[in-house]
Structure 1
């Protein structure tokens, strides 16, 4: 499997303290710092490579976007990151189904991962709203 060029997951409500502790553990990242309205950033390290990290609060339905702008992460895919984050943060995590390819993906299909290992495909945002 090829490493994704970057990783993005969507994190259900979790405190910055909890998120900072996970980022420190996973990527030796210092605490998130403000980067504009509703945005937070930091830089982690993985295998000697810098990993820029951006958190954007409330992007959809109470979820924040957590973006690792690097192919140098402990996770090969968004789904792998989501699985790790759901357990570490004890909250729901969502990610896109597969990599992004123009014209090839359904933009409303996501992978939902819950603490405890339950996971599966969902429509998001919910088309019933």
Structure 2
């Protein structure tokens, strides 16, 4: 499986304290620090490589975007990260179904729940 050039997941509500603890465990990252209105950043490392991290609060429908700007993360894909994060953070995580390519449906996402259930969803929900 190819590694994604970066990882982005969408995190349902979780405290900064909980998120900081997970980032410290997963990436040896220092606590998130302010980076503008509703934005937070930090840097971690994985296998000696620096991993910049950006959190954008309320990026979409009550979810915050968590972006790892590196291919050198503990996860090869967004979905692997989502699976790990959902259990570790005990919250719902969403991510793209795969790398973007022309013709891809931009509203299809992968949902991972803390109890391990997961599957494809339409997001935003067209029924709202």
**TM-score for the superposition, normalised by structure 1:** 0.98
CA distance in 2, matches of 1:11, 1:34: 18
CA RMSD, 1 decimal: 0.5
1:19 is matched with 19
1:56 is matched with 56
Residue 123 (structure 1) aligned with residue 99 (structure 2): no
2:74 is matched with 74
Q: Which runs of 5 or more structure 1 residues have no equivalent in the other structure? A: none
Q: State the SS of the aligned residue for 2:18.
A: helix
Q: State the SS of the aligned residue for 2:82.
A: helix
Q: Which runs of 5 or more structure 2 residues have no equivalent in the other structure? A: none
Residue deviations 1:3-31, cap 9 Å, x none? 10000000000000000000000000000
Residue 94 (structure 1) aligned with residue 123 (structure 2): no
State the shift of 1:32 in Å. 0.2
Q: How many residues align?
A: 128
